[in-house]
Structure 1
Amino acid sequence: MPKHVLPAESRELVLVGGGHAHLGLLRALAMRPVPGLRVTLLAEELAPVYSGMVPGLVAGLYRPEESRVDLLRLATAAGARLIHDRATGLDPAARRLACARHPALRYDLLSLDIGSVSRPLPPGEGRVLPVRPIGSLEARLAAVLLDGPARAAVVGGGAAGVELAFSLRHRLGPAAEVTLLPGAGLLPHAGGAARALVRRALAGRGIAILEGAPVSRSAPGALLLADGREVPCDLALWTTGAAAPPWLRETGLALDAEGFILIDETLRSVSHPEVFAAGDVATMAAHPREKAGVYAVRQGPPLADAIRRLMAGRAPRPWRPQRRALALIGTADGEAIALWGRFALRGAWAWWLKRRIDRRWVTRFAELPAMPPMR
């Protein structure tokens, strides 16, 4: 049987995770249901945070409810059954998904959009806070900020690390020491002019940058770098990139060298075509991209289209992610830096654009269409 043809009785779609692509898929199903398709959503977070608004949330520019999507409401509009749980394993041969607190779920089609996990923290007894899972970051950060650390650091040199450094500066005030530790280098995918602009913006807000060596150890009141330097630090945010959920290695799915699910241009596993994957947890073999929400938000529509076509007995259409994406780094004081490939600009207009994009993205899941009548 061709891999795009489903048996007549195939009707069970199980979605794992409330990532950006699955939110787009659920909205598409709410607007135009697929006849006969039974959808189950397994999610550990019932109000996932939009990743683009996390730095603003950390800075105190957004209220928590402004940055979250009501997953129960969205699932209800899509006619999906919602199970509050997390996946712990997968048996592709039996098409069963193991859950932490519920019986295994049988599926005909499975889609994984569970994001990534934090890379291992450095050894030691210092106060190092991983950014992931982002849904609980604000609560975890608020708990450790009760004693008001005067010396903070952000470990990681990507766009997320840079923006979180600006956010901590705004939240902690001008008297606090804020240091960015980008390891080997700042914004490795950006051009020299873009990096220079970002360095000027950081320096202008009193944020120090220490490049050239990764963090090797943490200690109370300090971070130790691999080259022997010691950075005074009462609290560090760990933003060193994405790691794959460890349980994927036991699933039998084809994975890349880092443990992420390898998918083709139809967002399906290259080894198990009944399994879809999107967002950080997936790597498109033909078109690999960095792990970033700006790519995940674009995967909802092609994922919905692929499932509709499979249910109609047609082959999914190939989809290719954009080569580059606009990154908007807020400085938490009314400006933002716009990065496009090797180009960069900054100004209040970029902050206005970022806020407009972020707010519109969250709002589209609150303003859902009316549910179709039951038949």
Structure 2
Amino acid sequence: MSQDILLIGGGHSHAILLQKWQDHNINQIHLKLISDTEQAPYSGMLPGHVAGLYSYEETHIDLRRLTKLAAAEFYQDQAIGLDLKQKQILCRNRSPIPFDKVSLDIGSTPTITSIPSAKDYAIPAKPVPIFLENWYQFLATVEANPNQSRNLAIVGGGAGGVELALNMQQRLQKNSNSITIHLFQRGKELLPQQGKWVRKHLSNLLQKRGIKLHLGEAVNAVFPDRIVCESGYNLDTDIVFWVTQASAPQWIAESGLTIDERGFILVNEYLQSVSHPFVFAAGDIATIKNHPRPKAGVFAVRQGKPLFQNLQRTILGKPLKPYHPQKHYLSLIGTGDKSAIASWGNFGFHSPLLWHWKDRIDRQFMAQFSRNH
């Protein structure tokens, strides 16, 4: 009996699933992917693209091509709702798409809804296509008038905000010495999840690069030309990027799926919804019950294979295989100058060798999606 398997989102886990599906196609299974973009960004190389070290093509996966090689259908649209009773996905621009089983890998976006004015005037780091469009436009205005003084603000002092600041600084200095990057962090310290050495080293590096740190400053309003903090501090700005804690889209909570306290889909060790067994989820949008981990690309990459295996096993009526994410993982932060910082617990190391090692791993990862089968 035929079944419709629907993949929502073109994240890393789904890209790996599609690549593996090419060699393990199942008869009478109609595989479909819905994504709001044809080109899926690879998070591991995106900061390097911002710094000008990689081209757009080198950092993006061609989802339309990947689905074609997997003998699957590609729908370019945005999912805006999930009807669990009728088993269908609601889309922005087309009629609902039915499914027998569904998998979600739609990532996350920075929490911006708590400050209404930020939604209007700040640029979230995700969705990536919107972020890149604004970044390219800003680069073009700088190149057109490199001597004009400008303030670029980044809100969020976690790993994402710090890495973005360093890579933007490297790219902008090629065109202008008149831009000041300001990094705002609500807490008194940057990178609260990292070890002491990494926190101190990166704080020193940011300041050495001329990036202004605003620690203990909570931004509570964003205007077209300035931001305002709870303390009353004001800064005139030309552009504001928002890189705060990750959040899930509201329609996930409204669907009736069991979620965690932050709105992400709660899944079991098989990457299967704890409330609806026909729903799978991976990457940032999923939280594994009893094994919560940071929202990091490394986990999305590692979940690709077990997601593929368990989706096929559930179709074939075979027992599912448990996946247990590692407790500790190596975090690599690129500094935009072909060097990187490695963080493991309380230990850290900064070297160009780390970047070259990371570059080789990233290029190997991307190469698997350009092969023809």
TM-score, with structure 1 as normaliser: 0.91
Q: Does 1:97 align with 2:101?
A: no
Conserved? CA contact 2:109–2:125, under 8 Å: no
**In the alignment, what sits opposite 2:122?**
128
Conserved? CA contact 2:112–2:242, under 8 Å: no
**In the alignment, what sits opposite 2:181?**
178
Aligned-partner Cα distance in 2 for 1:113–1:205: 36
Conserved? CA contact 2:258–2:266, under 8 Å: yes
SS in 2 for 1:210: strand
- 1:146: how far off? 3.5
After TM superposition, which residue ranges in structure 1, 4 or more long, deviate above 6 angstroms? none
C-alpha offsets along residues 286-312 of structure 1, whole Å, 9 cap, x if unaligned? 111111111111110000110222122
Structure 2, unpaired ranges of 5+: 143-148
* Identity across the alignment (%): 39
Aligned-partner Cα distance in 2 for 1:307–1:226: 47
- 1:95: how far off? 1.4
The change in CA–CA distance for 1:86 and 1:93 in structure 2 (over 3 A counts) is same
Aligned-partner Cα distance in 2 for 1:307–1:216: 43
The change in CA–CA distance for 1:64 and 1:234 in structure 2 (over 3 A counts) is same
- 1:118: how far off? 3.1
Structure 2 counterpart of 1:112, which letter? L
Conserved? CA contact 1:10–1:108, under 8 Å: no
SS in 2 for 1:52: coil
Conserved? CA contact 2:2–2:28, under 8 Å: no
Q: Does 1:69 align with 2:61?
A: yes
TM-score, with structure 2 as normaliser: 0.91
Structure 2 counterpart of 1:82, which letter? F
**In the alignment, what sits opposite 2:137?**
143
Aligned-partner Cα distance in 1 for 2:351–2:24: 40
Aligned-partner Cα distance in 1 for 2:185–2:370: 37
**In the alignment, what sits opposite 1:168?**
168
* 1:224 paired residue among 218, 221, 228: 228
Aligned-partner Cα distance in 2 for 1:135–1:325: 28
SS in 1 for 2:311: helix
**In the alignment, what sits opposite 2:293?**
289
Aligned-partner Cα distance in 1 for 2:73–2:223: 46
**In the alignment, what sits opposite 1:252?**
256
Aligned-partner Cα distance in 2 for 1:232–1:135: 26
C-alpha offsets along residues 24-80 of structure 1, whole Å, 9 cap, x if unaligned? 100110122233322011111111111122211222222111111111111011111
Aligned-partner Cα distance in 2 for 1:220–1:135: 21
C-alpha offsets along residues 160-216 of structure 1, whole Å, 9 cap, x if unaligned? 111110112112214421122122131111111221111122122122222112111
Conserved? CA contact 1:127–1:234, under 8 Å: no
SS in 2 for 1:358: helix
Conserved? CA contact 2:195–2:343, under 8 Å: no
- 1:124: how far off? 4.5
* 2:366 paired residue among 341, 362, 369: 362
Aligned alpha-carbon RMSD (Å): 1.8
**In the alignment, what sits opposite 1:3?**
none
**In the alignment, what sits opposite 1:159?**
159
SS in 1 for 2:44: helix
Q: Does 1:32 align with 2:24?
A: yes
* 1:304 paired residue among 301, 304, 308: 308
**In the alignment, what sits opposite 1:236?**
240
* 1:198 paired residue among 202, 205, 210: 202
- Total equivalences in the alignment: 361
Aligned-partner Cα distance in 1 for 2:105–2:301: 11
State the structure with bigger RCO (CA 8 A, min sep 6), 1 or 2: 1
**In the alignment, what sits opposite 2:111?**
119
* 2:338 paired residue among 328, 334, 337: 334
**In the alignment, what sits opposite 1:13?**
5
SS in 2 for 1:93: coil
Structure 1 counterpart of 2:21, which letter? L
C-alpha offsets along residues 113-133 of structure 1, whole Å, 9 cap, x if unaligned? 111233226455895221111
Structure 1, unpaired ranges of 5+: 1-8, 371-375
Aligned-partner Cα distance in 1 for 2:350–2:108: 30
The aligned runs of 1:41-56 (5 Å cut-off) are: 41-56=33-48
Aligned-partner Cα distance in 1 for 2:108–2:216: 26
